[in-house]
Amino acid sequence: MKLLFLEIKRIFKSPIFYISLVIIFGFMFMQMDINDIHDEDPALAKKRHEEMVRKAKKEVIDGEEVLVYENSIIYEEAGYGSKKTDDITVVQENSVERLIYEFNENSYATYPFGFYKEIQLSSSEQEQMAKYLSKLTGKSLEEVKKSSTEPEFYEGLNYSTTGKKEFLKIMNLVDDLVGGGSHYSEKKVVSAYGDVPMDYEDAVEDYNIIKNKDKFTGAYARLFCDYLGIIISFAPILLAVFIWYQDKTSGALEIINSKSVGSTKLVLTRVLAMFIVFAFAIFILATIYNVKVISVYGVENVDIFAFYKYILLWILPNLLFVLAFGTLITILTNYPVGIVGMLVLWILFITGNDIAAGYDWPLILRHNTFGNTEFYFNNIGSVFTNRAIYTAVSVVFILLAIKIFDLKRNGGMVRIERVGNNRKKRA
């Protein structure tokens, strides 16, 4: 216990720890403005919209008469957002219409490594894309090439020409044609284009689900963890690498090796110390948002523990993985290359996941939407499986770090390096 307190004290003296906290807190306050938390009751939204329509003035813009309220164009019908569906007909309509637009512009949106990249196809590639669109729409090849820019073209689209299996196969080919990284791939097309607008009745139903099943705080907690999961999956690596690399640069490693403290105890204590201080900071951050949500909806209407339960499930496995990875790589190499390694993994995790419903293989779980409660709970098994896998991997990393650290302290790694060097010289 004394060693744990000493390690925590050491962390609190480290400027890298506070830099990491500034990054985490700053990122969260920028991504999820606490002042934007307000009651999402559709009845209130409808009332506000009706008030804006009543006060709006009619103006003519680009030859069209529109309603303008406080320099913004508004519509007579209120919008209530959208909801996710895996209805393949909806996915087909949304994705194919988008593909037709990009075909006509010869400008295809892709996101290699998570960053936007516009792709333009050659004449032969456009010809191939037209063939895919012909299969997807039931239109002839000539109709696709000559009349796809006309409004009438959209009225006669026949999606029944391709079943779900054939549709997904063609979309994979579309993704390959634009070089990959688009939202047309089989893995992304359903989540990317499975959106349907909600009317007032849908919005009320969704609100009631959030109210009764999420107790409001659950919906905000998922959105909070969506953003926090992004930054917590990288920022702590700075401290993990610094703590172990500092031993080498300060000469403390020789002192550590000369003491009787065991390798297992030292590695576990350090990882635990870093885990505790970051977890403490995360819970403080969550409390700030939790208090705001409670103040909006009233303590009697919320689950005051929702933020903390989601942190335990969504965030702490990420934190443990990052600390374990940083510890292992720094002990193994004696250099701060773990930062670069984690950055590469971080990019892979970000680009390999669906922003609205990413519960599959990446470390960083995504649920970048308020509500969508039923969809989340219908896929809760994937969340638990994901968390269990990364927790197990983290434990393996820590055990490997202990073994390697112990070998180095006892000269085992030195003997291995000498054998390797001798082999190179004989060769």
Residue 298: the pLDDT is 94
Residue 413: the pLDDT is 56
Looking at residue 168, the DSSP 8-state letter turns out to be: H
Q: Do the domain assignments include residue 206?
A: no
Region at 108 (left for phi over 0; alpha for psi -120 to 50; beta for the rest): beta
Q: Do the domain assignments include residue 37?
A: no
Q: Do the domain assignments include residue 141?
A: yes
Residue 157: the pLDDT is 81
22 and 73 co-located in one domain: no
70 and 95 co-located in one domain: no
Residue 419: the pLDDT is 40
Which residues of the chain register pLDDT less than 70? 113-115, 249-260, 352, 412-427
- In angstroms, the CA 216 to CA 206 distance is 11
Q: Which of 161, 193, 225 is the last residue of a domain?
A: 193
- In angstroms, the CA 278 to CA 286 distance is 12
Residue 369: the pLDDT is 84
Cα 374 to the chain's mean position, in Å? 19
Q: Do the domain assignments include residue 413?
A: yes
Which own/partner contact pairs does 79-83 have at CB distance under 8 Å and 24+ positions apart? 79/197, 80/42, 80/45, 80/197, 80/198, 80/199, 80/200, 80/202, 80/203, 81/197, 81/198, 81/203, 82/195, 82/196, 82/197, 82/198, 83/195, 83/196, 83/198, 83/202, 83/206, 83/372
Helix (H, G, I), strand (E, B) or coil at 5: helix
Residue 229 in tokens: 């999961």
- In angstroms, the CA 247 to CA 267 distance is 13
- Contact present, 303 and 222 (Cβ < 8 Å): no
48 and 189 co-located in one domain: no
Q: Do the domain assignments include residue 198?
A: no
345 and 297 co-located in one domain: yes
Which own/partner contact pairs does 141-146 have at CB distance under 8 Å and 24+ positions apart? 144/103
Q: Do the domain assignments include residue 199?
A: no
Number of separate domains in the chain:
3
275 and 333 co-located in one domain: yes
Residue 358: the pLDDT is 78
73 and 91 co-located in one domain: no
pLDDT in tens, 246-280: 877 665 555 555 566 788 999 999 999 999 999 99
302 and 153 co-located in one domain: no
149 and 47 co-located in one domain: no
224 and 349 co-located in one domain: yes
91 and 221 co-located in one domain: no
Residue 249: the pLDDT is 66
180 and 306 co-located in one domain: no
Residue 115: the pLDDT is 67
Cβ atoms within 10 Å of 335's Cβ, excluding its own: 13
Q: Do the domain assignments include residue 205?
A: no
Residue 418: the pLDDT is 45
Closest to 120 in 3D by CA, of 128, 132, 108: 108
- In angstroms, the CA 276 to CA 11 distance is 11
Residue 263: the pLDDT is 87
Q: Do the domain assignments include residue 364?
A: yes
Residue 216: the pLDDT is 95
75 and 90 co-located in one domain: no
What is the number of helices (H) and of strands (E) in the chain? 20, 7
Q: Which of 193, 226, 257 is the last residue of a domain?
A: 193
Domain with 159, as residue range(s), is: 86-193
Residue 259: the pLDDT is 61
Query: What are the distances in angstroms from CA 403 to CA 1, 46, 252, 328, 344?
Result: 22, 62, 20, 10, 25
